[in-house]
Structure 1
C-alpha cells in the first residue's frame, strides 16, 4: 500500500509538470520517511547521493554535451542538411532521404531527440514543402528522424542507461551503432516505399555535379572525423569512454576555432548549456537512487522478479509485454525519466529471464524513441507541429508507416539479439 501511494504521488507530480528530478526525489523522500522515519533517510543522505554522482563513469555525459554544444556553435550542423541533399539528389524523394541522412549525422553530435526534431523542423521542412513535398509526409518524416539522436553513438541516453545498469559504458554506447544504422535505413526505405506507391507525395531529387558534392565535404568531413575519433577510439580500445568524450569535446572546440566561430559569448553559452543539462541529469541520477533505495527496502523489485519467474509464459512473451509498457511510457515521458524510473525495477526481471543487459538497454531506448511519435502525447510530433503550425493529428497519421517499420525492427532485434550485441562483442576494449 505504501509503495502504491508513493508511485501515485510520483505520477501526480509528473502530471503537474514538476521537473523530473524533483518529482522522483520527493517521492523517494516521502517513501523513505514513511517506511523508516528520519534515521533511515539520514543514513541514506549521508553517503548515497555523493557516491551516486562521484562515479568516474559519469564523466562522459558532460563531455559529450560540451562536444555537441561546440559542434552547434561551429555552424557545421546547419550545413549537414545541404550536404546530404546534394549527395543523394538523384534518388526519388532525394530531399527526404537527405533529411534522414543529415538527421542521423546530427544525432551523432546532439544526443537529444527533441533538439534534433526542432532543428530539422526549422531547416528541412520549409525546403521540402517549397519543392513540392506533401506537408504531412515532410512533417512526419522529421518527427521520426528526430528519434535517431538517442540511438546513434555517442548517445547521452545510452551512457545514462549504462550507469543505471552498472554496465560497460563503451559497450552500451557501441551497441547502439548497428541498430541506429538499421533504423536510419528503415526510415529511408519506408519513405521510398510511400513515394513509390504515391508519386505525388514527393518529387524526384535533382542531380548535382561532382564539384558541388566535393565542396560539401567541408561540412561532412569534420563531423565524420569527430565521430571516428570518439567511436573508433572506444571500439579499438584506444581510449576509455571518458577519454574519447574529452577528445571529442577538444576536437569540436578546435573545429570552432578553425571556422572562426569562437567568441566569448558563444563559449559562455556552450558552457552554460552544458552545465544546465549536466546538472539536470545528475539530479535525476541522485533522485533515482533515492527512489530505488526505497523500493529495495520494501522488496518491490525482488517481489516482481519472483512473480515474473513464476509465470508459465516464455521469456520472449514476457519481454514483449514489458515492451508494450515502454511504448506507453514513451508517449507521455522523456527518455531519461523513463530510464530513471524503470531500469532499477525492470532490469533484474529482464536478467532473471535470461536477457543481456546491454541488449536490453538498446531495446529500451528504441522503444522509448518510438513512444516519442505515438499518440496521445508524442513529444516529437508536438515539437514539429508547433514549429510548422500543422495540426498534430495529421502528423500522427503520417508517422504510422514509420512506427510500423520501427516495430518490425523491435521484433527483429528480439528474435536475433546478436544484431545488437555483435559490435560490443568484437570490441578491442571495455
Structure 2
C-alpha cells in the first residue's frame, strides 16, 4: 500500500473513532495496537509496554500534577476573587473597566494555573455576575472572559507545553519563556479592543463610580501573594535556577502557605484539590501513553518521514507548509479539544517542520497560540460552555459565541504576527541563562 494512502486511512479511522465518542486515549491506543498487530506482528507487542514505560518514566512529567495541584489550591484559596476586586478598583474609571479588570485577572491567574478551562471558570465565576449586575452588555461580558481564559493555555506554566516538550524532547523552560511575550501581547490586544469599543459605545459598559484613592491603595495587598508566586516561578525558570518540575514543587508549597495564610483553605478543600489533581493527571497520563505509542508506530512505518521527504521534493515554500498546517489546526479546533489535537498531530507535523528547518520551540508555542482559539471556536469550544454554565439563564450560548467573535479575530491576528515575526516567541528564550 502506498504510504500516503495508508496515512490517510489511519487518520480517517482515528477521526471516526473520535466522532463516535470514543475517548481520545482509547482511540489512539486501539488504533495503535491494531497497527502493531497488522504491520509489525504479535511478537512486537512487547514494544507497546516498553514504549509506554519509556514515555511515563520521565522526570519532566512530574511538573504536570504539581502545577495542577498548585492551581487547585490557588482556586480554593479565593485569590482570584481578591485579584479581581483589586483590579476592578484600579480600572473601574476606564471605558469597560470591569472587563479590563477581568482580562488582567485572567492573565494573572493564567500565570499560576496552566490550563485555560480552569482560568475561565475561576475568573468567570466572579467577573460575569459582577459585570452583568453593573449593567454591562452580556455579549461583551461573557465573550471577553471566554477569550481571556484561553490565555491559560499559553502563559506559563502551560500543561500543553509540558506535554509538547516531553513528546518532542525540547526544553520545557524555553517553551515556557516562549509563551510569555505572545501571551502578554494577546492580553494587551484584548484590553485595547475592550477600551476602544467601550469608548465608542459607552452604553456597553457603565463606568464604576465612587471608588476613592484610599480604597485603591488598600486593595493592593490582596494580590501580593499570587503576584509573588507567578514572578518567582517565571524568574526561576528564566535564570535556570531549577527545572520546571522542581519549581512546580516549590510552587505547591507556597500555594499551601498562601491558602493557610488567607485562612480560607480547609482540609475538605485540600482533599478536593487532591482528588481533582488525580483525575486530571490520570487522564493526561493515559493520553500520553497512547500518543507515544501512536507516534512510535507511525515512525516505525516511516509515514511522517515519507511525508516530509515528499514535501521537500515538491519544492513547496516552507512558509506555505506552515500556513497549511495552521489551516488544518484551525479546522481540527472546531471538532477536537486542544489536548487531542496536540497528541494526534505532533507525531506527523514535527518531523515535517524539522525537515524544513524550523525551530521546534517556535513551532510548539505557535501551535499553542493556534489551538488556544479552539477553546472559543464552535461547536466544541470548551470555554464557551464553561461560561454558559456560569452565566444567568437569560444569556444564551449564541450571545457568548457572538461576544467571543471579535476575540477570535484578534487571536487570528496574534497567530499571524507570531508566524511573520518568529522573534516574538524566540527572543526571550534566546536570552535565557
Alignment TM-score > 0.5, same fold: yes
Q: How far apart, in 2, do the equivalents of 1:3 and 1:413 lie?
A: 30
By how many angstroms is 1:137 displaced? Answer: 1.1
Q: Give TM-score, length-normalised by structure 2.
A: 0.94
Are 1:150 and 2:169 matched, yes or no?
no
Equivalent in 396, 403, 415 of residue 420 of structure 2: 415
**1:14-413 equivalent positions in 2, closer than 5 A:** 14-40=18-44, 42-206=45-209, 208-388=211-391, 389=393, 390-413=395-418
By how many angstroms is 1:165 displaced? Answer: 1.5
Deviates more, 1:198-207 or 1:20-29: 198-207
String of CA shifts for 1:201-234, please: whole Å, max 9, x gaps. Answer: 2123436333322332333111011112211111
String of CA shifts for 1:86-116, please: whole Å, max 9, x gaps. Answer: 1212211101100100111121222221222
String of CA shifts for 1:227-253, please: whole Å, max 9, x gaps. Answer: 122111111121221211111111101
- SS of the equivalent of 2:240 reads coil
Q: CA, structure 1 residues 46+103, in 2 after alignment: closer, same or farther (shift >3 Å)?
A: closer
Q: How far apart, in 1, do the equivalents of 2:218 and 2:7 lie?
A: 60
By how many angstroms is 1:294 displaced? Answer: 1.5
Equivalent in 409, 421, 430 of residue 425 of structure 1: 430
- SS of the equivalent of 2:425 reads helix
By how many angstroms is 1:302 displaced? Answer: 0.9
By how many angstroms is 1:303 displaced? Answer: 1.5
- SS of the equivalent of 1:61 reads helix
Q: How far apart, in 2, do the equivalents of 1:207 and 1:407 lie?
A: 38
Q: Is the 8 A contact 2:337 2:380 kept in 1?
A: no
Q: Is the 8 A contact 2:330 2:374 kept in 1?
A: yes
Which ranges of structure 2 fall in alignment gaps of 5 or more residues?
none
String of CA shifts for 1:170-198, please: whole Å, max 9, x gaps. Answer: 11111111110001001111112222332
By how many angstroms is 1:118 displaced? Answer: 2.6
By how many angstroms is 1:2 displaced? Answer: 4.8
In the alignment of these two chains, the number of paired residues is: 427
Q: Is the 8 A contact 1:90 1:207 kept in 2?
A: no
String of CA shifts for 1:26-47, please: whole Å, max 9, x gaps. Answer: 121112112122112x221241
By how many angstroms is 1:385 displaced? Answer: 2.5
- SS of the equivalent of 1:167 reads coil
Q: Is the 8 A contact 1:49 1:289 kept in 2?
A: yes
Q: CA, structure 1 residues 180+128, in 2 after alignment: closer, same or farther (shift >3 Å)?
A: same
Which ranges of structure 1 fall in alignment gaps of 5 or more residues?
none
Runs of 4+ in 1 over 6 A off after TM superposition: none
Q: CA, structure 1 residues 263+122, in 2 after alignment: closer, same or farther (shift >3 Å)?
A: closer
